[in-house]
A and B are shown apart, each in its own frame.
Chain A
Amino acid sequence: MTLPRALEGIRVVDFSWVRAGPWATRWLGALGAEIIKIEWPENERGRLPSSTTPQGLEANLNTSGNFNDTNVNKRSLSLNVRTPKGLEVVKRLIAISDVVLENFSSRVLQRWGLGYAELCKIKPDILYVSMSGYGHTGRNHHYTTFGPVAQAASGLTLLSGLPDQPPAGWGWSYMDDTGGMYGVMCVLTGLYHRNMTGQGQHIDQAQMISSVPLNGPSLLDVTVNGRGSRRPGFPPGNRTHWPGTPLLNNYRGPTVAPHNAYQTHPGGYNDWCAIVCHSDEEWQRLVQVMGQPAWATATQFATLAGRLAHQAEMDAGIEAWSKTLDKYTLTERCQAAGVRALPVQSAEDRVEHDPQLRHRQMYRELEHPMLGVHKVQNAPFTLSATPVFNHLPSPLIGQHTREIVEGLLGYSHDELLAGYADGTFWPTTRARFPYLEEMLQ
């Protein structure tokens, strides 16, 4: 028996590009929604430039590995929306869709003649989710972001690093991943509301804005206690408190020690293990696991206050031990004794060595027509009645133009051919990929 999908019957017109928007619609697709990605090869961001094209393959619009992982579960319609004919096609599509999603700057869709008021004329209960940098209202709505810029402006970057050093920040666009999450959250919440009330709406999600509520406790420390984060000992590296600085909470849960990353055998770039003890009892268990070295049984370490006061010495002692074990052995020994420890894992570690992710089938293979068979990242949850899975590789650009234009929208094949001849479905000056030629036969 084939189980239904949670979002079966939901159609999404997806204008999104680069990362945050496409990461959102990827998950809507995994939940069963039909995602139609509107693209234009002359004006494409996300497929190129690609630093994830496999060695030996030509880097072109269809060979980015990261694009593939970010755009599974979608079909592609190549369309110049900035022509009257293209606009007519997209309006016909919107008229039979549930959701319009985009992550352009704040005024782009309006300029195209597809602002929310216009969308409502086409489809009265449409759900429109915009995912801009700064939102559609407010004095800086025209500002632009990439993940790292949203992270800097919102306070997220400053959370990461060692005291008295430049911020270490986030080593990737955390707010592209997380902005994508908020995009999905807005779509699903808006759909639930529409199904219950019959009303669509415009939801104005923004990357920089969505970052700010992730700093809740530190912001309340400002508004309630008047305490800012530019202070000695903040951010405290991987610790909860930096030795020799005032004993204040640093917004990463309870103030405890040990709470750090320790180098492990054989000392490679990612040979580290994180160890945390939340109580004196957990510390005693760690002392046991370490084989009760003389230094660790000293009374100064028996209490939390003592461990915080002598953190540098304690961390050095733990690391002398951790360096004798590889990170997975150390993890197993600690966990067997009820001590909180997990390895620092690179991407290779996660894909190849993590027994939990393997058991949960986090990476399952999917075939892409140009890239071949590769592992794709799966959902971090299961729904018992409506399975969540990746059912399509990322689309080649324009791959589904014919089936959408003719099959879904009811244009004739001659109209399709005319649209290719006049530059509606592909730039007249640009060479067509072989699969596009085949489609036009």
Chain B
Amino acid sequence: MTDAQRLPGPLTGLRILELADEKGQFCGKLLGDLGADVIKIEPPGGEAARRVEPFLNDMPHPERSLPFWYYNTSKRGITLNLETADGRQLFQRLAATADVILETFRPGFLAALGLGYDVLHAQHPGLIMCALTPFGQTGPWRDYVTADLLHMAAGGEMASCGYDATDVLDAPPIAPGGGNAWHMGCHYAYIAIMAALVYRTVSGRGQYIDVSIHEACALTTESAIANYIYRGEVLQRHTGRHHAAGPSPRTQFRSKDGKYVTALVAGRLTPRYVKDLAALLDHYGMAGDLHDAKYQDQQVIEANRDHIIDDLVGNFIASLPAEEVYHAAQDRGFTWAAVRAPEELLDDGHLQDRGFWKQVEHPELGRSFVYPGEAAIYNGSPWHISRRAPLIGEHNVEIFCEELGLSRQEFALLAESQAV
């Protein structure tokens, strides 16, 4: 442990109540890993996200879901049945101790239980409440049912991702995997919550936040909207590279080991670039005619663009393993990279130098596992995984009895009446 890791995280002292399913759990993780006390409130029996594969050793069990593990680090967990009067009352007591409530229920659900923001805010004016939902609290699609794939469709991601017809004929638009619609919603939810918290440090006031995942996704297609608004263009999908109004040169090349390299060459072909490219290829004896003085003329370069890209760059990359091309090119100033699989990141020396991988203890299993670490290094107030994802109701006694002051007997009665 370095000195920096002993400092408290930037959100130390904040308490977050998280009532979130797969849509919002990543936002809670971001807050928790940065030091907030995130209390995950699950229905008795546990959140549905616990049933998502893959599982530890492929054995289905609510305490063995790897996505659940990943998205719920640095949280404490309690169970609470909000559909009972006792459960609601306990929730109100907890809310009085919280800075932020993050919830992903369908619009109107909490208000119908008498737990809407107006009620909670009246008791606690500094409270911030963030509702993160598929479409926000208003509008004609407000009650539509969704999935990650559906958001990638309606948000515009799919319209930009896919294949050139020369690579895959009649390919559908493709939705990138990995649950990124939820990531997009959670990033914006985190931003909205933090803006409200910064404002509260100067005003003392809480507020209500309405985040729409659909809007977050619709915002995340770079220039596609500008191309339409300013030029009326609807962009075409291209294999492994940018959407574009028309044809564009390829940027993805197969390497000797059957992998791929992303090499952004087109659009950058100046005499200086060609000279550097010749030096890179020459190191492997593959410069071909690239040293020819004629390539110091921009027009000659343009006329030979396909030759340079397809023959010279293409053959160079085909002659080497992807990882070797990546480092050789980057060391000479080329903005290229190997298209890597997750398993290939574990050996990445740069990530190791930055202390990126973290050991997380799972005491109930007597084991620890390697987790991905921080998106950014906070030099003055470090990011830190404080604990593995909570087991179902793991902190019920700690929070209900030791912190809220319920007696063991009261707690037992609540458990019996299925409030917790």
Contact = CB atoms under 8 A, between A and B. Distances in A.
Nearest to B178: A159
A43 to B, nearest CB: 16
Contacts of B234: 269-270, 346-348
A70 B379 CA distance: 28
Interface stretch (B106-114, B291-299, B328-336): B328-336
Contacts of B236: 269
Contact of A340 (B22, B146, B198, B343): B146
A286 B254 CA distance: 41
A123 B41 CA distance: 42
A301 interface: no
A236 B168 CA distance: 15
Contacts, number: 528
B333 to A, nearest CB: 7
A7 B241 contact: no
A254 B187 contact: no
Interface stretch (A148-156, A304-312, A409-417): A148-156
A298 interface: no
B159 A340 contact: no
Contacts of B366: none
A344 B192 contact: no
A294 interface: no
Contacts of B66: 217, 220-221, 224-225
Interface string A403-433: 0000000000000000000000000000000
Contacts of A169: 161, 176, 239-241, 252, 262, 339
A195 B201 CA distance: 7
Contacts of A360: 136, 138-139, 212, 215
B219 A188 contact: no
Interface string B184-206: 11011111101111110111011
Nearest to B186: A181
B249 interface: no
B377 A386 contact: no
Contact of B158 (A68, A166, A344, A385): A344
A135 B110 CA distance: 42
B195 A386 contact: yes
A97 interface: no
A166 B198 contact: no
B214 A383 contact: no
B54 interface: yes
Nearest to A204: B377
A181 B161 CA distance: 21
Tell me which of B155, B172, B226 has the highest count of chain A C-beta atoms within 10 A of its own C-beta. Answer: B226
Nearest to B376: A205
Given A162-B174, A169-B241, A237-B174, A216 B70 contact: yes
Interface stretch (B83-91, B309-317, B349-357): B349-357
Tell me which of A141, A215, A253 has the highest count of chain B C-beta atoms within 10 A of its own C-beta. Answer: A253
Q: Which range contains the number of B residues in contact with the other chain?
A: 35 or more
Nearest to A231: B341
B378 A201 contact: yes
Nearest to B13: A196
B303 to A, nearest CB: 20
A101 interface: no
B400 interface: no
Contacts of B147: 253, 259, 274, 276, 278, 340
Nearest to B378: A203
A173 B223 CA distance: 9
Interface stretch (B273-281, B282-290, B367-375, B403-411): B367-375
A228 B202 contact: no
A300 interface: no
A392 interface: no
A335 B159 contact: no
A188 B194 contact: yes
Contact of B195 (A137, A149, A188, A349): A188
B185 to A, nearest CB: 8
B356 A148 contact: no
B230 A238 contact: no
Contacts of B52: 249, 253-254
Interface string A166-185: 11111111101110011011
A130 to B, nearest CB: 9
B306 interface: no
Contacts of B264: 146, 148-149
A145 interface: yes
A168 B195 contact: no
Interface residues of A, number: 158
B122 interface: no
A148 to B, nearest CB: 5
Interface in A239-254: 248-254
A212 B372 contact: yes
A35 interface: no
B412 interface: no
Nearest to B192: A381
B391 interface: no
Contacts of B370: 223
A59 to B, nearest CB: 11
A191 interface: yes
A218 B150 contact: no
A165 B168 contact: yes
A395 interface: no
Contacts of A346: 156, 159, 224, 228, 234-235
B225 A69 contact: yes
Given A168-B162, A204-B379, A220-B369, A65 B176 contact: no
A190 B251 contact: no
Interface in B125-152: 135-136, 138-142, 144-152
Contacts of B176: 156, 159-160, 168-170, 174
A181 B226 contact: no
B202 A195 contact: yes
B342 A172 contact: no
A347 B252 contact: no
Given A178-B187, A374-B229, A340 B150 contact: yes
Contacts of B340: 152-155, 158
Contacts of A138: 349-351, 353-354
Given A172-B223, A214-B183, A383 B207 contact: yes
B338 interface: yes
Contact of B343 (A68, A230, A345, A356): A230
29 contacts: A7-B195, A27-B191, A54-B231, A66-B226, A66-B230, A139-B350, A143-B330, A144-B335, A148-B240, A165-B168, A169-B176, A188-B198, A189-B194, A189-B378, A202-B379, A215-B342, A216-B71, A217-B67, A222-B343, A225-B56, A238-B174, A273-B153, A340-B150, A342-B144, A342-B146, A350-B156, A356-B141, A359-B139, A362-B215
Closest 3 CB pairs of A and B: A201-B380, A65-B230, A380-B215
